[in-house]
Amino acid sequence: MLLLPAFVLLLAGLCGAKPLAGKRWNDLAVKHAWVEIPRGWEFHSKPPGDHLLDMRIGLKQAKLEELISSLYEVSDPAHERYGAHLTKEEVDALVAPHPASVGAVESWLQHHGINPSDAHFRSAGGEWITIRVSVAQAERMLGTTYGVYYHAASGSSVVRTMEYSLPQELHSHVDVVTPTTYFGTLHSMRSTSFVQAHSTVGDEDSFAAEISPLAVPASCGTTITPACLRALYNTTAYVPKATATNKLGVSGYLGEFANDADLQTFFKTFRTDAVGGTFTHVQVNGGLNTQSDPGVEANLDIQYTEGISFPTPNTYYSTGGSPPFLADSFTPTNTNEPYLDWLNFILNQTTIPQTFTTSYGDDEQTVPQDYATSVCNLFAQLGARGSSVMFSSGDEGVGGGACTTNDGTNRKIFQPAFPASCPFVTSVGGTQKVNPEVAINFSGGGFSRYFAQPSYQTTAVSSFLNGLGTKFAGLFNATGRAYPDVAAQATGFQVVVGGRTESVAGTSCSSPTFAGVVALLNDFRISEGKAPLGFLNPLFYSTAKTGFNDIVSGSNPGCGQAGFTAGVGWDPVTGLGTPDFLRLQALVA
C-alpha cells in the first residue's frame, strides 16, 4: 500500500517534466527591437516558412575582459608585454564561453528539436554557433515574425525582423542572435568610394617615374598615383625585406573581386618595377572571382595596397553571402551577414596577415548595439593576435541626410559611423591637396554613442574638446570613442577598371593607402627581428604621435551643420594626421 503514493508522485513528476521545461524556454523577453522600420527600408512580403537561413548565436565570452586587457598590454609600447601577441589558441581560450552558457544554449536548441552536434559551424573558441533553420522555426525560437524588407536605393532585399526575444534564462548567456534586427547589408552600407568625372591622366609614362619626396608636384593635388603617395608619405626609398613573413589583407564584399589584368595595366602605367607582381585570391562563403566585370572598390583597394607595399604579399578576400533574395529558394541567401562570415573565417586561420584594410561602413545607430559590440569584440581578437586593422571613416562628414534619431524622438544629432567607431580598429579619415594637405569635406568623423572613449585617446581628445567649448553641444557624445584616428589622401585616385583609368574618391582611398604604409612598418619591424605592430592606436596616441603630418585646416560638414574643424593636434576630421613613414620607422624601431 505504501508503494501507491510513491508511484503517484513519480507519475506526477514525469507528467510535469515537459511543461516545466516548456516554461523554462517559453519565458521570452525582448532582446532587441526597433520602434520604426529602419530608414530606407520598406516591408515587402512575408518570406516562405520553409525558407532556410543560417542562424548565428553569439555566446557570452567567459574571459572577454581578460582578452581586452591583454590586447591593451601587448599594444602599449610602455608595457612590458608590448609586442607579445597572443596565439590563436590563447585567444580561443579567452573567448570560449562558460560551460554553463554552452549547456543552456544547447538545452534550448534541443527543446526546439535541434541536435547541437548538427551545428553548421562552431568557431574555434566555441563562442559562435551557426545552425541552419527554417524561417518558421526561427520565428518559434525567437518569438518573432520575419519579413522580406526592400532597400530601394541599393536594390537589396533582406529577411529580417523588427524585434526578437530570447528566454529570460538565455539573456545572461547570449550576446546576440543574427540575422534578426540588423538590416544593413553591405550593398546599403557601401558608401566610402565613388567614381569621379573621368579625368585624362596625360602622358602615362610620366606617372611611372618616381617623385622626389622633397618636391611633391602640384599635380598630385588633383591626380593621385602611387608615386604621389610614396613621395607624400616618405616610403619611396624603402624596399621591403620580410616578404616571406609579412602579409597584407584586403577584405571585400558584394561579389566584388580584384582583376589581375587590371593590376598589370596599373603597374605598367603607375609602378613599372612591380610589373608581373601578383596577389592571392581567397574566396569566402561563395565569394566571386570570375575575373569579368571587376569592382571599382576591389580594384582600388588592391591596386593601392600593392602600389605602396610591393613586393609585400597581398591577399584579397572576396566574401559572398548577399545574392538577391529569391522567394522560392530553399537555401540560405542574403540572410547571411558577410561581416560575420569573413571574421569567423579569418579568425579560424592559424596564420593571418599582419595588416588588414576594409572600406565599408554604416550609420552607427542603424546597427543594433548588441550586434555592433559583438563585431567590435571580434576585431579585438584580430588585434590581440598581432594584426593591425584599418577601416575607412566614411564619406558623410559628421552625418548625411536628415540626421534624425531612429528611436522615435526624431532628434537631430551627428551620426557616427560603424565599424569606424569601434575602439579596436584604426579609423582612417580623408585629406586632399598637397603642400600642404588639408582635410577633405566628406571625411567621416565624430564620437560614438555606443562605445566609451578609450583611455589611449583621452589626452588628445580632451585637448580638442577644451578648444571646442560649447559648440555643437547636444549634437554629439563628448564621452564617446572619438574617430578618425589618422588620415590619408581621399580624392583623385587613378584606378584601372576594365582596362580604363577612372578617377576615384572617398575614404575607401584613404584606408588602403594607410594600410600600405603600415604594412611597410610591419615589414621593417619583422626584418629587425621584432613583433609586428598589431593594434595601432595605443602606440599612435603615445610614443608615435610625432610621426604624423598634422592637418590644420578643413572641416567635415554634415547634418546641416558646419561640422568639426581640423586644427593643431588630434581632431575628428583627420585624427592625428597623415603618416610620415620615415619618422614612424624611427619611432617604432
Binding residues, as ranges, are 550-551, 569, 571
| CA torsion, ordered 325, 328, 330, 333, to nearest 10 deg | -10
* Catalytic residue list contains 508: yes
Q: Which three cell numbers stand for residue 514?
A: 594607410
- Closest by Cα among 343, 364, 390, 521 to 451: 364
Choice among 251, 508, 511, 555 that is catalytic: 508
* Catalytic residue list contains 301: yes
Q: Which three cell numbers stand for residue 427?
A: 579609423
Distant-in-sequence, close-in-space partners of 236: CB < 8 Å, separation ≥ 6: 210, 211, 213, 227, 230
Cα-trace Rg, the chain: 25
Choice among 54, 262, 301, 502 that is catalytic: 301
Q: How far apart are CA 434 and CA 355, in angstroms?
A: 26
Strand, helix or coil for residue 223: coil
Q: How far apart are CA 13 and CA 16, in angstroms?
A: 5
Annotated binding site for Ca(2+), which residues? 550-551, 569, 571
Contact 449, 480 (CB under 8 A): yes
* Catalytic residue list contains 306: no
- Closest by Cα among 71, 74, 53, 190 to 131: 53
- Closest by Cα among 481, 491, 160, 146 to 304: 491
Choice among 54, 76, 92, 297 that is catalytic: 297
Q: Which amino acid is at 304?
A: Y
Give the Cβ contact number of residue 45 at 10 Å: 12
Alpha helix (H) ranges present in 334-457? Answer: 338-347, 369-384
Angle of helix 338-347 relative to helix 369-384, nearest 10 degrees, comes to 30
Alpha helix (H) ranges present in 54-195? Answer: 64-75, 88-95, 99-111, 135-142, 186-189
Distant-in-sequence, close-in-space partners of 14: CB < 8 Å, separation ≥ 6: none
Q: How far is CA 203 from CA 31, 208, 272, 505, in A?
A: 60, 10, 14, 21
Q: Point out the residues that are catalytic.
A: 297, 301, 508
